[in-house]
Amino acid sequence: MSPGLDHYDTLPAVPADRLRGLWRGSGEPTGHRLDGVLEQLGWFGKRFEDDERVHPLVFRTRRGLTSINPALVPLGVVLRVAPLLHTSAAARAFAVARPLVSTRRPHARLRDVRYRGVLSAALVYDDLPVIDAFRAVDDDTVLGAMDARGMPEPYLFRLTRVGVPG
């Protein structure tokens, strides 16, 4: 088990209603194949409108923030080519493709899920076998574990509240 997961396992559950609002994301360096990839591609974080309307992939653009439809991002391919995605060329290519995968619709929901023995808020993707399970770091910070079918270890990331809930 990684030190990141050891730390994650010590954190308390987070209630879903505490996640309302816009959150800025950053990866937790653990040696995972996805470490640094989302940030390189312009990932901003996540937006939780309510339990039924969650935008799991919010990215920065020149015009502000935009949501990406996760179903249009081939996770299996991303995992296989992750080392190649740490380049500025990959960031430019994604910026060109981003309008094709952008959406205004939410593509996930919040549910209480038991993950690693703790019942806590989790983001359940609508169209992918992926769950982001959250633990509280403090009132404005959570640690997430992205558990995806086919990934031997979860990808850990941190979310920090940007705006007021609601």
Residue 165 forms part of a structural domain: no
List helix spans (H) across 16-142: 37-40, 75-81, 88-101
How far apart (Å, rounded) are the C-alpha atoms in residues 132 and 49? 16
> Structurally, how many domains does the chain consist of?
1
In a domain, 61, yes or no: yes
* Torsion sign (Cα): 29, 25, 46, 103: negative
Is residue 44 in a domain? yes
Question: With contact defined as beta carbons under 8 Å apart, do 144 and 132 qualify?
Answer: yes
Q: Give tens-digit pLDDT for 60-99.
A: 998 999 999 999 987 777 877 888 788 888 888 888 888 8
Is pLDDT at 37 greater than 60 in this prediction?
A: yes
Per-residue pLDDT at 19? 97
The CATH number of residue 40's host domain is 2.40.128.580
Domain annotation covers residue 117: yes
pLDDT at 164: 56
Q: Indicate whether 166 belongs to any domain.
A: no
Structural domain contains residue 86: yes
Give pLDDT tens digits for 9-36: 999 999 999 999 999 999 999 999 999 9
The answer to whether residue 150 sits within a structural domain is yes
The answer to the question of residue 13 being in a domain is yes
Spatial contact of 127 and 70, defined as CB atoms under 8 Å apart: yes
* Model confidence at 130: pLDDT above 60: yes
Structural domain boundaries, residue 129: 3-160
